[in-house]
Structure 1
């Protein structure tokens, strides 16, 4: 097995033991990454829906009742207007200068017989320079980054700057959500992914991501190695096989919630939003990340960690039960009967 030595997060300070305690208000979450138009080709014709992995995650968090802010870039066009309206309806706040001169990016999805999507992209990713000032001006207790935005230049450098510049009392999550059609060879991308893994407290990664990034290696072993050498928690999603959470001292598996699948578009993003939501409400994120450290300090998972993983699985399942990236609301999640 390859020695998966992660780049040390030496450029991000450790949290102070004197970090402030939670205030009782809902923590603010900053999601950074692409928002784009998902164009879906079906036997009934072509339809366009708002999409983009980070945008879907921000939407899922807002629907679950969290203060969700999205640092992204959209065009001043019909697709951009559609996405802005869609996010605003559910309370996602876009950061300043989100609208730029270039057209809104698109991802065209084609579904196979099992509802799985493959994509072709027309995307340019950048981020306004003013976004890097947000960390100093506003109080975000959790930062989430990932997908195309974390690796596609010129915007990837600003995403990395945001992650590095996050307050020491804030927690960070990362979802590689790799799109090989837009990337270099795995050997070129691996160090950049591992750098972001090392800077994160929580990583969610799919078995497909790891199969591409580390050809021929066991995804569970890689996830466990990441957890030993970097983040406090690494969650490996495996589609219908559920998910496996790894931390330095243990592992916990969670089954996929049974539903009749319409398609899997946005399922991973919904899992991510459900996981962040559950960890936040369990007191495991924000406020210096000491809750997460405590929850992963023994071989057995804490009840709060198990509850967060189950919330993530249920959130993903409800998204699979309907077409497109349409994550559930808090009320829908509460009504879901496993």
Structure 2
């Protein structure tokens, strides 16, 4: 197997702000860009139309040399999310999601990642779940639910699908808001336990300024957030996700996960800290703007210098 092959499956769309501008977005696309910037360029399997919004998405992907899957470029409209901003700063979104994302064959891959609308919305979600379940044993499968409750169908069915996709994945990352939606009223520890009981080896929940908690092979970890001056939080969770996957690939922890081998505590901490630094760099500047290798390593060096334990 070619260990360099990475696939990301899910939406690439255009966020349109009423009275403002438009920019390429979508959680899976942001993860793909984050991986590419860190020297692990994936192939993105999405749905990009032959319109002006599609041109915007393609240009964004080309800038960071993200590959495009064979069935990604289609006739018809691109997916969009139109935001209307209220006086208090809150936003209401109107999604236009024509068609579905074609699920590729998951053979000869080192890693496949999916999440959000493209993973949970029908049509398409059932085919994706089947592909994840049938993926070769040597493929690391990663999932970030990144819940968009208003476009993924009935809540109970969507919750079942989250657990089904998680059970087919070795790595699952979700936010504390996702956890509250997934198990209303449950503690973060209970949500970690529930996902791990389904078979996921590496489960992590981000908590914004409080850092992240994880459960890996029955061992709990807690890592603090990296202190930065926050400009905005756009793309922070996606940068955490791409940083986490990069850290697992960098240290060979991805192979331990797929082989069923024990994961040393220092490898878990290294992956979590890489993810936290990646997210912190992104929130320190405007927009979904994940780091490049030199700035990630520089900030990681500073984080290691003040580290005071393994975080278990």
TM-score, normalised to structure 1, is 0.82
> What residue is the counterpart of 1:239 in the other structure?
208
Distance in 1 between residues matched to 2:187 and 2:37, nearest whole Å:
35
Q: CA RMSD in A?
A: 2.4
Distance in 2 between residues matched to 1:113 and 1:275, nearest whole Å:
36
> What residue is the counterpart of 1:261 in the other structure?
230
The alpha-carbon distance between structure 1 residues 72 and 80, as it changes in their structure 2 partners (threshold 3 A), is: same
- Cα deviation, residue 237, structure 1: 0.8
Distance in 2 between residues matched to 1:303 and 1:161, nearest whole Å:
34
- Cα deviation, residue 223, structure 1: 1.1
SS, match of residue 135 in structure 1: coil
Distance in 2 between residues matched to 1:308 and 1:316, nearest whole Å:
12
Alignment of 1:190-269 (within 5 A): 190-269=159-238
- Cα deviation, residue 286, structure 1: 4.1
Bigger shift: residues 103-112 or 64-73 = 103-112
The unaligned stretches of length 5 or more in structure 2 are: 304-312
Contact 1:117 1:265 in 2 (8 A): no
SS, match of residue 236 in structure 1: strand
> What residue is the counterpart of 1:16 in the other structure?
none
- Cα deviation, residue 244, structure 1: 0.3
SS, match of residue 222 in structure 1: helix
Q: Relative contact order, CA 8 A, sep 6+: which one is greater?
A: 1
> What residue is the counterpart of 1:335 in the other structure?
298
Contact 1:282 1:305 in 2 (8 A): no
Distance in 1 between residues matched to 2:185 and 2:149, nearest whole Å:
16
Contact 2:111 2:139 in 1 (8 A): yes
Contact 1:220 1:236 in 2 (8 A): no
The unaligned stretches of length 5 or more in structure 1 are: 1-19, 296-300
How many residue pairs were aligned? 301
> What residue is the counterpart of 1:38 in the other structure?
15
TM-score, normalised to structure 2, is 0.89
- Cα deviation, residue 169, structure 1: 1.0
Deviations 1:120-145 (Å, cap 9, x if unpaired)?
Answer: 422235123xx43x334xx2111111
